[in-house]
Chains A and B, each alone.
Chain A
Amino acid sequence: MVIMLTNTNDTNSRQITKDRTGVPKKAVAILIAVLAFGVFMVGFDQGEALGMSVPADGSGDAPGTNWSHEFYHDMRHAAGFPCH
């Protein structure tokens, strides 16, 4: 942590700035969860996460259909994830 003391024009007034290099652990945990969820859903899920849900594409397919693979299909290809 760096503390800077800066004199302003007013000799009785000083500004204190604390420069923190640490990162809150809670924030890191939340961001890692966001990362894992998003990359898994968009890049890798083959029906594991939403396999029990009815497809949202209106196809009327039975639950178990690989919904996220179909929905995120084009981005999987464009972002370099393995797809077919």
Chain B
Amino acid sequence: MAGAIAGTVLSTLNQGIVEPYIEQAIALENQKSSMNGEMLNPLEFDNYRLWQKGGEIAAGTILGTSYGALFGIVFAYSRTSIPGSSEMKKALILAGIMLSVLFIVPGIKYPANPPAVGDPETINYRQSLYITYLAISGFSAIGLAFLFRKLGQRQAKKAIVPAIYAGIMLVAYFAMPPNPDAITTPMDLVISFRIASIFTISVFWGLLGVILGALWDKLRPHETAKVSA
């Protein structure tokens, strides 16, 4: 439920914050197409874009529910190892870690791009690169979370574990091939789009942490039975 709410908020925010850049990039794409002799029906295209914007709202709810499911599993297993005086504080710390592992770190190697940047011919290759890098980041984090717990009360683990993660991702960064598509779209548009994307995705993870933490504090699902005798 927390994920569905945060995801719907994400897609609503995107309509105002990210969409203007997507529209600009699509306008450039269409300009290119018309220079190549392709004709677009403006009315049909407007209806099509309206349909896609509706799709973005649905996508936000679905993606939010999916990330919320992952967040719930990870939180249930790790909450006793996360510092924090309340479940909400713990959930916010975990949300920050998951934002980094699943979005910020993969984005350093393969950043988000607006339309008009990616070549349709390379989509499968780019997807395989992204999934591989995401998997390296995600599975390293899971493995290191077990190590963090195994190291018990040792204070040094707070420096050692993030350092190992950084080392793994640094090796992966240099070992993995770059995005094969050259960027021909104006860089100010690309950078503005990336900043907007980082902002809304960060809001999403923050909101997910707040909602799940607040619900956990209220419902306390780890307490299975309260029996008055």
Contact = CB atoms under 8 A, between A and B. Distances in A.
A63 interface: no
A79 B63 contact: yes
A5 to B, nearest CB: 9
B183 to A, nearest CB: 13
A50 B134 CA distance: 24
A31 B73 contact: yes
Interface of A: 13-21, 23, 28, 31-32, 34-39, 41-44, 46, 57-59, 70-84
B229 A74 contact: no
A78 B115 contact: no
A16 B115 CA distance: 58
Q: Kindly name the residue among A19, A41, A74, A83 whose own CB sees the greatest number of chain B CB atoms within 10 A.
A: A74
A3 B196 CA distance: 47
Given A46-B123, A74-B22, A84-B123, A41 B51 contact: no
Main secondary structure on chain B at its contact with chain A?
A: helix
Contacts of B158: none
Interface in B84-104: 103
A38 B63 contact: yes
B52 interface: yes
Contact of A19 (B47, B65, B223): B223
Given A31-B72, A31-B73, A80-B201, A17 B223 contact: yes
A20 B103 CA distance: 31
A17 B196 CA distance: 46
B80 A21 contact: yes
B30 interface: no
B58 A71 contact: yes
B55 A84 contact: no
B73 A78 contact: no
A76 B63 CA distance: 10
Name the residue among A21, A39, A43, A77 with the largest chain B CB count within 10 angstroms.
A77
A83 B51 CA distance: 18
A75 B226 contact: no
A73 B52 contact: yes
B177 to A, nearest CB: 13
B106 interface: yes
19 contacts: A14-B228, A15-B226, A17-B225, A18-B223, A20-B222, A28-B73, A35-B69, A38-B65, A58-B51, A71-B51, A74-B55, A74-B59, A75-B56, A77-B113, A77-B115, A78-B18, A79-B197, A83-B113, A84-B123
B200 interface: yes
B184 interface: no
